[in-house]
Amino acid sequence: MRDAGVHPGAWWLWALGLGTAATRTTNPLLLGLLLAVSAYVVTTCRPDAPWSRSYSAFLKLALAVLVVRLVFAVVLGSPVPGAHVIATLPEVPLPHWAQGIRLGGRVTAEGLLFAFYDGLKLAALLVCVGAANALASPTRLLKSLPGALYEMGVAVVVALTFAPNLVADVQRLRAARRLRGRPDRGVRGLLQVGLPVLEGALERSVALAAAMDARGYGRTADVPAGIRRTTAALTLGGLLGVCAGTYGLLTAEGEVYGLPVLLAGLAAALTGLWLGGRRTPRTRYRPDRWNGRACLVAASGAGVAALLTLAASADPAALHPGVVPLTAPVLPLWPAAAVLVGLLPAFVAPREPDAPEEPS
């Protein structure tokens, strides 16, 4: 890995900080700056590993989301009234119970611009998640999970690696059949390839189960019933608090209670996970440490999120440009400087020579 000194959780905190900042604005200039910052850090710091190539897939997904949002605005209309008509599509008459919905009709520049701002915000959030996937090793992240979530993490990692292995098996078997002069296409080729693929998947599953059993996976310690009930209550209540707090932060009505509820939920959930980890004791081979680099990487993302949240409260007009009347968006200076704080990982986590992936 090019940056073995940065904890994978720090990359996720950095990316989630940028994603939180993207949800606080619809200014396309600020969103474009967030996309540029994430792309530069990914290009500078990501390792040369198969899992690190997912960033381009997230870029394509973000572009598809933006296109779909614009298509919906054209076909289904927009809630924003507009006076600049670009085109008029044939309108499909709908029954009375579908009032408020239309198919076709006028396509206005204001409606398209509103849809573009809204879709770009979601696209930026997806790209930030893709940056975390490209920078944080899933194996190292699995090692860093608390004991209460380790079984779930293993299941997720096994599920995510099953599909690539299945595709690789199909390609390998089709190449072998072509070398032997046998058909590899059509229903006959699919049926003759399918059985060896399923057989190989079953063999891998049995080998994985044997390896996990040999390492003591799934064996739990004896924990009193009171601690188990307390753990479940804290974890469930904490996760509900995190959901409620996140919803509050994302809506204008919940800005007052959003942050306190989110912090209380995080505290309860972390306490529950710590107690739950006592039930599944395990050791880690060369565990990742939170060093100065990891703290700076995580702090840069948190700083961008905090500064953009403050800017959205202090000057909402700059971070949410209007579309009625049509006006060109303006780049606010100090929010733009706050976004540039997200470039810090490119300098504190420089490119390093790759190293083989460590076992978990």
Q: Which residue, 89, 145, 140, 115, is CA-closest to 28?
A: 115
Contact 52, 72 (CB under 8 A): no
Give the SS3 label for residue 91.
Answer: strand
Element (H, E) at 108: strand 103-108
* Mutual angle of helices 8-23 and 28-45, in 10-degree steps: 170
What's the rounded Cα separation, in Å, for the pair 265 and 269?
Answer: 6
Which one, of 101, 96, 138, 146, lies nearest residue 271 by Cα? 146
CA-to-CA separations, 110 to 77, 82, 158, 259, 297, in angstroms, rounded: 11, 5, 47, 33, 39
Tokens 């990692």 locate to 157
pLDDT tens, per residue, the chain with 360 residues: 344 568 888 999 999 999 999 988 999 999 999 999 999 999 998 887 767 778 888 899 999 999 999 998 888 877 777 778 888 878 777 777 766 677 777 888 888 899 999 999 999 999 999 898 888 877 777 777 666 666 666 666 666 556 556 666 777 777 887 787 776 676 666 667 777 777 777 777 677 667 766 766 655 666 677 777 787 788 888 888 888 887 777 666 666 777 788 888 888 888 877 776 666 666 666 667 788 888 999 999 999 999 998 998 888 888 888 888 888 888 999 999 999 999 999 998 765 444 444 444
Q: Are strands 85-92 and 103-108 parallel, antiparallel or unpaired?
A: antiparallel
Cα 149 from Cα 113, distance rounded (Å): 43
Q: Which pair of tokens denotes residue 264?
A: 């209380």
Q: Looking at the chain, how many residues does it have?
A: 360
Task: Please enumerate in sequence order all residues whose Cβ is within 8 A of that of 130, keeping only pairs 6 or more positions apart, or say none.
Answer: 54, 55, 57, 58, 59, 61, 62
Query: Is the separation of the CB atoms in 74 and 150 below 8 Å?
Result: no
Does an H or E element contain 86, and which? strand 85-92
Domains of the chain, residue spans: 8-220+280-348, 222-279
Question: CA distances (Å), 34 to each of 125, 198, 343, 350, in order?
Answer: 10, 44, 10, 20
Q: What angle do CA 231, 234, 238 make, to 5 degrees?
A: 140
Which residues are registered as beta bridge partners of 106? 88
Angle at 170 between CA 169 and CA 172, to 5 degrees: 65
Q: Which residues contact 256 (CB under 8 A, 6 or more apart)?
A: 248
List Cα–Cα distances, 65 to 16, 102, 124, in angstroms: 19, 21, 10
Residue type, 356: P
Please indicate, yes or no, whether the overall pTM of this predicted structure exceeds 0.85: no
pLDDT, tens digit, 9 for 90 and up, residues 51-81: 777 888 889 999 999 999 999 888 887 777 7
